[in-house]
Every structure is written in structure tokens, then in C-alpha cells.
């Protein structure tokens, strides 16, 4: 998923995964986050390489971080434009300006576990909000991404060793018959990495399951949580183009939960 200004693209390969037929809609063209040759993809750019750690720091300790706590932001590394990540009385705000967006990294890894966050995504063409799990470069990666030109839709995707495995993102909406605008309010999002599967959730609703299959690349090394906003204007139309006269643009996170399965 990407984080932040797109510089290089990688080829998409075969689609693998099981999705809930009530939630999924596959477009005819490739969609994605950070850097894909056939469309935007969500892995690393020149900047994002700086986000990759040379080694992992595994923990079995679960942590729940509530951003009504004034010290909550200190539990993360803000590695890109720290002036654009700041706390309010009950959230951390991610701001995108013409100069830059921002990226927060939780400094611990799990081998298997669950990432959860309560997020309001940013509206605005070209603006991309993201939460993801990624390992060291070349990264296995598991993403939730939202493009601000369509905030009724969330996109789940994955990469193995920096390579796009599924050519199409899974396009999903909030639970129920009437999709909600995910920029208008907060929703709970989760990515769960198990030994034999990956699962993506919205408001505790399982929207997609990716099984581990013999001989098929699987993102088992996606271990560390990253989140923020970035300018997707250079993603060949996937995210749209930012109109800076309407900025700055903001997303927010109220809480974050990291649960290793040890």
C-alpha cells in the first residue's frame, strides 16, 4: 500500500485470494497503491525504502494505544514530515500538504498477529490514506488503502518480497446494504496475519480471506505497522490528482491495537 510519493513501479502477477462476494468488486483495470507498472501499487518508493528496518524487533506484548492520552504519539516513530502528525484531544491527525504527507511506524514486529485501528480517512482526489503491515526490504506487505476520490470504498492488497501478487485490489465497503462514507466518520479496520491465512476486517466484518497455498507466494513476513497519508497524484489515475486549493487534507486515528499471536 503504499506510502508516499511514487517513484518506481513493479509488475502485477497472478491474483490469489478468497473474498466475500457481498463486499468485493473487481475492476477491469489494475488498481493499487504504491508503484506498479500496470497501475499504482502500494509498496515502497525511494522514500519508503527509508521506512524499511534492516532487522525485525519481535515482541509477544500486546498494546492498545488511545490517542486521548497526550503521550500516545511518543510510542510511534514519525519518520516522514513529523509536523504533519499531531494530536488533538482524542485523535492523531495525519495531514497532507503540498510539501509532504506523513508516516507513523509502530516500532515492534510480530510473526503472526492482528493490527487494528479506528480511522477516519481523508477525502480529496489524489489523497491516499493507508494502514499496513510490512517487513524489511524487499518487503512482504499487507494493506488497507483509501483513495480520497472514492471514500465509500476501501482497498485491500498484498505484496510478497516487494512484488505485486494479485493484479487487482479487493474493493470493499462498510458492513450492511448501504455503504457509508469512510471520510465522514470513524470505522474500525483490521489486518490479521495467521500462519495459514490473512484476513481483512471492517467494523469486525470479515471482508476478505487470503489462504496460504502450497507453491503460491504468501506475505508471511509482513510484521510491522505503518500508517499515514500521501500524495497519489502520480499513480496513473488510480488516486486522482490533488487540488491543493482545497487543502490541507487530513485523516485521523483514534486508537491503535497491536496483538501478537505468541
d(CA 103, CA 80): 5
Indicate the pairing of strand 18-19 with strand 154-160.
Answer: unpaired
**Mean pLDDT calculated for residue range 222-234:** 96
**Mean pLDDT calculated for residue range 93-105:** 97
Would residue 141 show up in a list of annotated catalytic residues for this protein? yes
Is the peptide bond preceding residue 138 cis, with omega within 30 degrees of 0?
yes
Bridge partners (DSSP) listed for residue 120: 252
More confident: 52 or 139? 139
From 116, 141, 192, 252, active-site residue: 141
**Mean pLDDT calculated for residue range 172-178:** 95
Comparing CA positions, the residue from 3, 229, 255, 227 lying closest to residue 95 is 229
Hey, which bits of 89-223 come out as E strands? 92-96, 102-109, 113-120, 127-134, 141-147, 154-160, 163-164, 170-172, 187-193, 197-202, 205-211
Comparing CA positions, the residue from 241, 26, 251, 228 lying closest to residue 151 is 251
Q: Would you say residue 131 has pLDDT above 90?
A: yes
d(CA 146, CA 153): 7
- Give percent of the chain with pLDDT exceeding 70: 79
Band the pLDDT of 74: cuts 50, 70, 90. very high
More confident: 113 or 12? 113
Q: Would you say residue 73 has pLDDT above 70?
A: yes
Torsion sign over Cα 217, 221, 223, 227: negative
d(CA 56, CA 109): 6
From 63, 99, 116, 145, active-site residue: 145
Would residue 99 show up in a list of annotated catalytic residues for this protein? no
pLDDT for the residue numbered 39: 33
152-171 pLDDT per residue, tens: 999 999 999 999 887 778 99
Q: Would you say residue 17 has pLDDT above 90?
A: no
**Mean pLDDT calculated for residue range 1-30:** 30
Q: Would you say residue 236 has pLDDT above 90?
A: no
pLDDT for the residue numbered 255: 98
Amino acid at each position: 500500500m503504499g506510502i508516499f510519493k511514487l517513484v518506481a513501479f513493479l509488475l502485477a502477477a497472478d491474483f490469489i485470494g478468497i473474498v466475500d462476494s457481498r463486499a468485493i468488486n473487481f475492476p477491469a483495470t489494475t488498481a493499487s497503491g504504491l508503484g506498479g507498472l500496470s497501475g499504482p501499487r502500494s509498496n515502497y518508493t525511494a522514500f519508503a525504502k527509508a521506512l524499511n528496518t534492516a532487522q525485525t524487533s519481535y515482541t509477544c506484548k500486546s498494546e492498545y494505544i488511545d490517542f486521548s492520552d497526550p503521550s500516545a504519539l511518543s510510542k510511534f516513530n514519525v519518520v516522514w514530515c513529523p509536523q504533519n502528525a499531531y494530536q488533538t484531544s482524542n485523535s492523531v491527525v495525519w495531514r497532507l500538504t503540498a510539501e509532504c504527507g506523513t508516516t507513523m511506524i509502530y516500532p515492534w514486529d510480530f510473526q503472526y498477529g492482528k493490527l487494528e485501528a479506528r480511522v477516519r480517512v481523508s477525502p480529496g482526489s489524489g489523497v491516499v490514506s493507508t494502514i499496513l503491515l510490512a517487513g524489511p526490504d524487499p518487503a512482504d506487505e499487507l494493506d488497507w488503502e483509501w483513495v480520497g476520490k472514492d471514500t465509500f470504498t476501501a482497498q485491500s492488497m498484498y505484496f510478497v518480497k516487494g512484488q505485486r501478487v494479485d493484479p487487482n485490489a479487493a474493493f470493499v465497503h462498510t458492513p450492511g446494504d448501504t455503504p457509508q462514507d469512510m471520510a465522514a466518520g470513524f470505522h474500525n479496520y483490521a489486518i490479521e496475519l495467521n500462519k495459514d491465512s490473512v484476513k481483512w476486517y471492517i467494523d469486525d466484518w470479515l471482508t476478505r480471506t487470503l489462504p496460504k497455498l502450497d507453491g503460491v507466494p504468501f506475505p508471511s513476513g509482513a510484521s510491522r505497522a505503518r500508517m499515514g497519508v500521501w500524495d497519489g497524484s502520480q499513480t496513473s489515475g488510480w488516486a486522482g490528482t490533488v487540488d491543493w486549493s482545497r487543502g490541507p487534507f487530513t485523516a485521523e486515528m483514534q486508537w491503535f491495537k497491536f496483538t501478537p499471536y505468541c
